[in-house]
Amino acid sequence: MKIFLQEIRSDYEGFSVLVSLAAETRECDFDDIEIDMSRATWIDANMCAPFGAILYKVGRGLNTVRLTNIPVDVETILSRNGFLCNYGWSRRTDTYGSTIEYKRFDPKDDRYFADYIEKYMIGKGIPDMSFELLKKFRESIYEIFSNAVIHSRTKQGIFSCGQYYHKKHLFEFSIADLGIGIRQNIQRRFGLDLPAADAINWALEGHNTTKTGPIPGGLGLKLLREFIVRNEGRIQIVSDKGYWELSGEKVTTRSFSDPFPGTVVNIVINTGDTKSYCLASEVNPEEIF
C-alpha cells in the first residue's frame, strides 16, 4: 500500500491530513505501508506527536511502515527531534537546542515525563521567560499530560513533541494519546451523544467533568484555557471527529470526515509575554479549607 502525505502544519488542514492517514490505515494488518513524503514539503515539528501516534498504532497492527522520499528540510527537522530514529534514520544534533524531542510514554511514566520536560526547561536554547511564565508553561504541559493519563484510558501510550521558533517568539508543544476520546468519554459517563467538536467544548466549560470515583477533578483544561488566553497563545484540541481551536479569545470548531484515533492537545505559547502572572491579591492560607 502506498500513501502520499501532504504538508502537516499545526492547523485544521494539517490535522485533516493525519485524520485521512488514520482512516486509510485503520483496517491494515500485516501490510507493507509506504508513506511517500515527496509532497510533504513542510511538517511542523510538534505535529510529530499526533503523526507518531498514528504510525505507532499502524505498527501495532504488525504492519511494516516505511517513510520514503522525505524532502531534505523535513528530514532535518524530523531527525533533529528524534522522530525518524523510529524509522531507521540516525539522530542529528539539535544545533540550536530548540527542540523538545519526540517521545512516547506509557500512562505510568509520569516521572519520566517530568524528567524529560525539566531537561528542556533549563538552558538548551529554550527561551528565557519570566519565572512566573515559565512556571505556568511547565504546569500547563503537566496538566495536559495528566489529563491524558486520567481520561484517555490509552494502552498504547502518550506521545509528545515540541519546538521553539526563535524569530517568532513562539513555543509549540503537542501531546497526543490513542485513547477513547472526549466524545466517547462523555457518552459513557453521561449517556450524552454529542457531536465530537461539541464534546470538546463541553469539556472546557465551567465545572464539567467526566471524573468519577474517589478523586475529584475537572480543572485541568480550564486552567490551561485561562493561561493561554492571558498569554495570547493558542490551543488546539482534536478528538474523534472534532477540531476545537482557541486563539485570542475566539473559539473555532470544525469537524473531520473521519476520527482521529484518540485526542491531541496542541499549545502555542507566546514566549515574548511580559505580563505578570503573579496574583495581585493574597490568598489567606487560613481560609483555604
Partner 1 sequence: MSDKIVLMVFEVVGSGICVSSDDGQKVHDQIATALRQGKYVRLSFLNVESLTSAFLNASIGQLYGEFSEETIKLSLSVSDMEKNDLALLKRVVEMAKEYFRNPERFKKAREEALEERDAD
- DSSP-H helix ranges across the chain: 12-25, 48-60, 72-80, 110-121, 131-151, 182-190, 196-203, 220-231
C-beta of 207 vs 250, nearer to partner 1: 207
Among the listed residues 97, 211, 248, 272, the single contact to partner 1 using CB under 8 A? 211
Q: Counting Cβ atoms within 10 Å, is residue 210 exposed (0-12), middle (13-18) or buried (19+)?
A: buried
For partner 1, the binding residues in 72-111 under the rule CB under 8 A are 108, 110-111
Nearer of residues 72 and 278 to partner 1, judged by Cβ: 278
Residues 8-67 that bind partner 1 (CB under 8 A): none
118 in contact with partner 1 (CB under 8 A):
yes
Choose the binding region for partner 1 from 95-103, 185-193, 215-223, 243-251 (rule: CB under 8 A): 215-223
Least gap, CB of 149 to partner 1 (angstroms): 7
Binding status of residue 146 toward partner 1 by CB under 8 A: yes
Nearest CB to partner 1, comparing residues 146 and 255: 146
Q: Is 100 helix (H, G, I), strand (E, B) or coil?
A: strand
- Concatenating the DSSP letter of every residue in 119-168 gives HHHSSTT-----HHHHHHHHHHHHHHHHHHHHH---SS-EEEEEEEETTT
Residue 106, classified by CB atoms within 10 Å of its CB into exposed (0-12), middle (13-18) or buried (19+), is middle
Interface region with partner 1, contact rule CB under 8 A, candidates 30-38, 70-78, 178-186, 213-221: 213-221
Minimum distance from residue 192 beta carbon to partner 1 (Å): 18
- How far are the Cα atoms of 100, 108, 133, 140, 180 from residue 164, in angstroms, in the given order? 8, 27, 15, 16, 30
Please give the Cα distance from 160 to 143 (Å, whole number).
13
Q: CB of 209: closest distance to partner 1 in angstroms?
A: 8
The site string for partner 1 over 149-168 (x = CB under 8 A, - otherwise) reads xx------------------
Q: Is 249 near partner 1 (CB under 8 A)?
A: no
Phi and psi for 29 in degrees, rounded to 5? -140, 130
Query: Residue 187 class from Cβ within 10 Å (0-12 exposed, 13-18 middle, 19+ buried)?
Result: middle
Q: Footprint of partner 1 on residues 267-286 (CB under 8 A)? A: 277-279, 282-283, 285-286
Site residues for partner 1 per CB under 8 A: 108, 110-111, 114, 118, 132, 135, 138-139, 142-143, 145-147, 149-150, 207, 209, 211, 213-220, 223, 277-279, 282-283, 285-289
